Amino acid sequence: MMSKKTLAELANTQSPCDDYDPNSMAVNQARSTIKAYLNPVKEIETLGIRDSLGRILAEDIISPFNVPGHNNSAMDGYAFNSADVQQSGSTTLRITGSAFAGNPLTGSVQKGACIRIMTGAAVPAGVDTVIAQERVSANTDSITFTDTIKPGMNVRLAGEDLSTGQIVLKQGHLMRAADLGLIASLGIPNVKVYRKLRVSFFSTGDELTSLGQTLEAGQIYDSNRYTIFGMLSRLNLDLIDFGVVPDQPEDLRLTFATAAAECDVIITSGGVSVGVADYTKQIMQEMGDIGFWKLAIRPGRPMAFGSISSENHQAVLFGLPGNPVATMVTFYQFVRSALLQLNGANQTEPPIIQAISEAPIRKKPGRTEFQRAILGRNTDGRPTVRLTGSQGAGILRSMSEANCFVILGHEQGNVAAGDWVDIALFDGLL
Ligand code: AMP
Ligand code: MG
């Protein structure tokens, strides 16, 4: 699944004006380096439509017929031919039959007549318009009304949702609830999707203790493996959890080799900064290919991207920083889109919207920042955003309290209260 170019070549060619500086790469350049390096999976499987939820379509879905298949009523009421209606004053029409959803009128509707019709019932030949039952005075065999009639009103036309031969969903589409229904409405029971990615993940650090064990002095519980698990679980992947690996080169080599032989992608946390115990970068150099390991981003400056080879198999590696918020920010910023791309998705970037900052925010140009915030509304009903207290890279509570990131771009300086800022909502993202 690797590109033919090496990562250093790719990183160099991304932006000819910028010097390739692996010591601190701008977020946009890092993103395009990753994008150019990944080759999406090709293998396809056929699934029943329910099982395709959250998967990526590997084929175009083409409508085999019109939906709806026939003109039908949008209201409970009476159907007639608009040519039979008086231009002004009142119109009286005889009721000569009825049509129900799934039980159409047999026969036709004569001139000057109407039929009782229910929502979803086929509109028979010879009539083009429906009036809602609330708008008429009716007795057992006729109706009278004075409303101005627009020909065609309250009639849903054949093919107005989907027409025969139309591409309904494109290859690369991420299947959501509406799509299951849309495909079902075409009578299609199975669809082709790309196979699931196999993704392994582990935490590194001698200080990490697993849940259920007692904390010794200087130790902390491993939380990143849980946030990473949660974020990955949103993406419909086959997951392999390799647990906590100590800061020992031999343990790390062995885990990397096992993971790379089995998986498409490896995600680690910790061990990518310049501390003496930070071996991930070194091992990536030995066993694979290294793209970058430092970014102009906050939080998340140390982050490694590259690949690891083992038993003739290569896996993409994301070495996320250990600080819990930095782990989540870099996952959101790089890993999520990369996994979608590798899985064949044609839309990988989450939507960015804007809100008014309630307070000033300090920001240095020269790095992209992701601050945790809460989206709300001011008294005019306009969207506003306020940061969730302390923004330290280790303060995971700032993520739990927040419902969005405020994204401050590379060139951006300080934000004044009242300025519009970019935000990305967490919902559906993390
Ligand atoms: P590192 O990137 O390994 O230098 O770690 C940076 C900071 O994140 C240190 O304070 C670590 O203790 C902390 N950290 C690293 N891994 C984890 C983890 N899995 N769960 C919680 N904190 C972590
Ligand atoms: Mg560490």
Q: Ligand 1 in contact with 300 (CB < 6 A)?
A: no
Q: What is the mean pLDDT of the chain?
A: 92
Residues in the chain: 430
The pLDDT tens digits for 88-147 are 889 999 999 999 999 999 888 999 999 999 999 999 999 999 999 999 999 999 999 999
Q: Ligand 1 in contact with 319 (CB < 6 A)?
A: no
Count of alpha carbons within 13 angstroms of residue 79, beta-carbon side: 33
Q: How far is the CA of 114 from the centre of ligand 2 (A)?
A: 79
The answer to whether residue 9 scores a pLDDT higher than 80 is: no
**Beta-strand pair 72-73/44-48:** unpaired
Rounded CA gap, 179 and 50, in Å?
Answer: 10
Q: Ligand 1 in contact with 14 (CB < 6 A)?
A: no
The answer to whether residue 15 scores a pLDDT higher than 50 is: no
DSSP, res 334: I
The closest-lying atom of ligand 1 relative to the alpha carbon of residue 275 is 4
Q: Which two tokens stand for residue 176?
A: 């959501």
3-state helix, strand, coil in the chain (%, to 5): 20, 35, 45
Atom 6 in ligand 1: residue holding the nearest Cα? 322
Q: How many CB atoms lie within 10 A of CB 409?
A: 15
Split at pLDDT 50, 70, 90, the class of 23 is low
Q: Is 125 exposed, middle or buried (0-12, 13-18, 19+ CB in 10 A)?
A: exposed
Supply the DSSP string of 113-147, one letter for each residue. Answer: EEEEE-TTPBPPTT--EEEEGGGSEE-SSEEEE--
Please tell me the pTM assigned to this model: 0.88
Q: Ligand 1 in contact with 77 (CB < 6 A)?
A: no
Q: How many CB atoms lie within 10 A of CB 413?
A: 10
Atom 14 in ligand 1: residue holding the nearest Cα? 322
Q: First and final CA of the chain: distance in angstroms?
A: 26
Range in 56-65, 207-216, 399-408, 420-429 the model is least confident about: 420-429
The pLDDT tens digits for 237-283 are 999 999 999 999 999 999 999 999 999 999 999 988 777 778 888 88
Q: Ligand 1 in contact with 203 (CB < 6 A)?
A: yes
Q: Ligand 1 in contact with 220 (CB < 6 A)?
A: yes
- Ligand 2 (ion): which residues have CB within 5 A? 205, 270-271, 322
Q: How far is the CA of 4 from the centre of ligand 2 (A)?
A: 32
Of the candidates 332, 300, 320, which has an alpha carbon nearest to the alpha carbon of residue 429? 332
The pLDDT tens digits for 363-402 are 999 999 999 999 999 999 999 999 998 888 889 999 999 9
Atom 23 in ligand 1: residue holding the nearest Cα? 322
Which amino acid is residue 6, in one-letter code?
T
273-310 residues labelled b (16+ CB within 10 A) or e (exposed): beeeebbbbebbeebbbbbbbbbbbbbbbbbbbbbbbb
